[in-house]
Chains A and B, each alone.
Chain A
Amino acid sequence: MPGAGIEVEGLRKRYGEKTALEDVTFSVAPGTLLGLLGHNGAGKTTAIDCLTTLLRPDGGHARVAGHDVVAEPEEVRRSIALTGQFAALDEVLTGRENLVLFGRLLRLGSRNAARRADELLERFRLSDAGGRPVREYSGGMRRRLDLAAGLVVDRPVLFLDEPTTGLDPRSREEVWSVVEELRQGGTTTLLTTQYLEEADRLADRVVVLGSGRVTAEGTPGELKDRVGGRVCEVKVAPERHEEAAAALRRSLEEVSGQNGTLVVPAPRTSVVTQVLGLLEREGVDPENVTLRKPSLNEVFFALTDPGAVPGPAEESRT
């Protein structure tokens, strides 16, 4: 299905003084799932809002299913489905009534809307709960119903804004299996998440956003390799930290850490020898050297904000 992808080029959005998106460029190939990874405030939701015509970008271009989001918002709306961070449902109405409501708004006609609602309830294992008001649903059920509401009519492009934030592991697993099913069905999907694990599990490609900029891009495997499966941690006297860091930066990329703790990705064990050699040449005597797995925190920080790896206090938790 050519043209059913998403292309974003140089997208910019500011809120007053605050820059939400700065020159963001990425694309989602038709039929694939792109994970937009970043912590709170990284610009993920702003990006989704621009692409779903909820917000008008200040600059740059974005095309969804071949339609420009600014010039052809109606066409874009006809091509997309959105599931937001909050389940956008009517709490008072029943699950079934919610689906029928959206079906009727999308011109299915009363009878078809009712039939479609039943199909979706069945597919999302909500048939038993279909007659109950949504306010009685669990978090996982709501999210599933919200997904279902986005699928009342088939759309080539699906936006999922943090679909599992706040869900317990079991509900998360349920949402994941639905998303996987959709991807297999050929839907182009843009999914935002704070969870590395989620991007790893679902995404064909990952774009990492940090402070409104794309800081990394690649397949989940490539990103993991970039951070390295292991890190080498060196402790030096805190007053010699800068000196040691400068020495390491001469031959190594992505040196991070603070207060005498230096962390370097160590995909190969030989990095340890390299680190020791560089420090020796500089005349810095390390107090301690360890080779260990990076914490999830470190992977995330390294990708979203290089140089801001959390200090030893946070690391000791893992």
Chain B
Amino acid sequence: MTVVFEASVLAGRNIRRFLRSPQLLGDALAFPLILLVALYVMFQEVVGGAGDEPYIARLTPGIALFSVAYSCTGTAVGFYGDLRGGFQDRLRTLPIGRSAGLLGRVTGDLVKFVLVTAVTVLVGFLLGFRFERGAVAAVGFLLVVLAFASIFLWLAVVTALSAGSRETASGLLNAPVTLLLLLSTTLVPAEAFPGFVQPVVRANPLSCAHGALMGLSSGGPVLVPVLQTLAWVVAATAVLVPLAVRLGRR
């Protein structure tokens, strides 16, 4: 399993880069946190009563999901730089495992996601968010976030492989990810949307994962939303991974 060692060395590089780039840190941590606090302050009075639970219990899981999806922009930019800058080529001429580069990036990013989730949950906690279903459910919460994030990880890889410029690589995912947040159950429950939008809101992967996270933190159905989330993950992986492999060969 030498490739595991190589991937861990490259994952370490990835994490170090993240911690040393003020812009990446800002994008991945500061922006979602500002969003969390701002949305809480703005909406808790207006829509706070729409559900049974305190508004922060609804907002925190959604922003955690948005944070990890949004931080994939950093993944796309980083990977794009490696591809165009020659770093990836250098790795490919070294006697290391073929998959070490990608594996290192994915592992490093998963660590990054854990960090982003932890910080988001911590700020949520300060505003009143609580894990009320115990420690096992809290671990499940994290796993659902990571599974959801993997969709965007693959999207980021595909974006980096197909982008023609650094600007494309950094900008392509922002708008769709923001749209997913707005059309999800994060801000208001699905019933609060106009009838014709509701199917979209319910099918939104962010809503599915959000439902699972609400279930695992403040209570509610868990199995169905978890299965829905996994369906999204499986479908995205089935489409995006072969696509990434094909783009990578060119």
Residues of chain A touching chain B, judged by Cβ–Cβ distance below 8 Å, are 52-54, 74, 77-78, 80, 82, 84-93, 97, 101-102, 104-106, 133, 149
Q: How large is the interface on B (under 10, 10 to 19, 20 to 34, 35 or more residues)?
A: 20 to 34
Number of inter-chain CB pairs below 8 Å? 61
Q: Please determine whether A53 and B92 come into contact, CB atoms closer than 8 angstroms.
A: yes
Selected from A54, A90, A97, A133, the residue in CB contact (under 8 A) with B93 is: A54
* CB atoms of A85 and B16 under 8 A apart: no
Q: How far is the CA of A260 from the CA of B69 in the complex (A)?
A: 67
Q: Are A84 and B21 in contact (CB under 8 A)?
A: no
Partner of A77, one of B9, B13, B16, B95: B95
Closest Cβ neighbor of A106 among chain B residues:
B94
Task: Please report the C-alpha to C-alpha distance between residue A149 and residue B9 in the assembled complex, in whole angstroms.
Answer: 16
Interface 1/0 per residue, B94-137 and A, CB below 8 Å: 11100010000000000000000000000000000000000000
Complex Cα distance A74/B95, Å? Answer: 6
B9 touches A53 (CB 8 A): no
What separation, in Å, do the CA atoms of A121 and B26 have in the docked complex?
A: 33
Q: Determine chain B's interface SS by DSSP, over half rule.
A: helix
Mark contacts of B57-100 with chain A using CB atoms, 8 A cut-off: 1 yes-contact digit, 0 otherwise. Answer: 00000000000000000000000010011110111111110001
- Chain A's closest residue to B90 (CB) is A88
Interface residues of B in 3-38 (CB under 8 A from A): 6, 9-10, 13, 16-17, 20-21
Q: Given A52-B93, A82-B90, A86-B85, do A92 and B20 touch, yes or no (CB 8 Å)?
A: yes
* Chain B residues with CB under 8 A of A86: 84-86
B178-204 CB contact bits vs A (8 Å, 1 = yes)? 000000000000000000000000000
Residue of A nearest to B100 (CB): A105
Asked if A84 and B13 sit within 8 Å, CB to CB, the answer is: no
From A49, which residue of chain B is reached at the shortest CB distance?
A: B89
Q: A152: shortest Cβ distance to chain B, in Å?
A: 10
CB–CB B93/A92 < 8 A: no
Q: Which of A54, A77, A82, A88 has most chain B Cβ within 10 Å?
A: A88
Complex CA distance for A102 and B94, rounded to whole angstroms: 9
Determine the residue in chain B with the shortest Cβ distance to A98.
B13
List of B residues within 8 angstroms of A84 by Cβ: 86, 89-90
Smallest beta-carbon distance B93→chain A, Å: 5
| A105 touching B86, Cβ below 8 Å | no
- Once A52-B93, A53-B93, A105-B6 are accepted as A-B contacts, the answer to whether A93 and B86 lie under 8 Å apart by CB is no
The answer for the CA separation of A80 and B92 in the assembled complex, in Å, is 12
Q: Is the interface of A mostly helix, strand, loop or mixed?
A: loop
Do A78 and B95 touch across chains, with their CB atoms under 8 A apart?
yes
List the B side residues contacting A88 at CB < 8 Å.
Answer: 85-87, 89-90
**Bound: A92/B24 CA distance, A:** 12
Partner of A80, one of B10, B13, B93: B93
Q: Which 9 A-B pairs have the closest CB atoms?
A: A88-B86, A88-B90, A86-B86, A77-B95, A92-B17, A78-B95, A84-B86, A82-B93, A52-B93
Which residues of A lie under 8 Å from residue B10 when comparing CB positions? 101, 105
On whether A93 and B16 interact (CB within 8 A), knowing A86-B85, A105-B6, the answer reads yes
A-B contact list, 19 entries, CB within 8 Å: A54-B89, A77-B93, A82-B90, A82-B93, A85-B86, A86-B86, A88-B85, A88-B86, A89-B87, A90-B13, A90-B87, A91-B85, A92-B21, A93-B13, A93-B16, A105-B96, A106-B94, A106-B95, A149-B90
Min CB distance A153 to B, Å, is: 10
Q: Is the CB of B17 within 8 A of A90?
A: yes
> When the two chains form the complex, which single residue of A77, A89, A97 contacts B94, counting CB atoms closer than 8 Å?
A77
Chain A residues lying within 8 Å of B95, measured Cβ to Cβ, are 74, 77-78, 106
Beyond known contacts A53-B92, A104-B9: 13 more, CB 8 A cutoff? A52-B93, A54-B92, A74-B95, A77-B95, A88-B85, A89-B85, A90-B13, A97-B16, A101-B9, A105-B91, A105-B94, A106-B94, A133-B20
CA distance A82 to B89 in the complex (A): 9
Measured between beta carbons, the chain A residues less than 8 angstroms from B20 are 92-93, 133
Report the nearest A residue to B87, measured CB to CB. Answer: A88
Give the shortest distance, in Å, between B237 (CB) and chain A (any CB). 27
**Least Cβ distance of B28 to chain A in Å?**
14
B18 shortest CB reach to chain A, Å = 9
Q: Which B residues lie within 8 Å of A80 (CB)?
A: 93
Chain A residues near B94 (CB, 8 Å)? 77, 102, 105-106
Q: How far is the CA of A34 from the CA of B85 in the complex (A)?
A: 26
Q: How far is the CB of B10 from chain A (nearest CB, A)?
A: 8
CB distance from A55 to the nearest CB of B (A): 10
User: Separation in Å of the B247 CB from the closest CB of chain A?
Assistant: 16
Report yes or no: B86 in contact with A87, Cβ–Cβ below 8 A. yes
What's the minimum C-beta distance from B132 to chain A, rounded to whole angstroms? 40
A86 to B84, CA, bound (A): 9
Whole-angstrom CA separation of A101 from B101 in the bound complex: 13
| Closest A residue by C-beta to B2 | A107
Chain B residues near A92 (CB-CB < 8 A): 16-17, 20-21
Contacts of A82 in B (CB 8 A): 89-90, 93
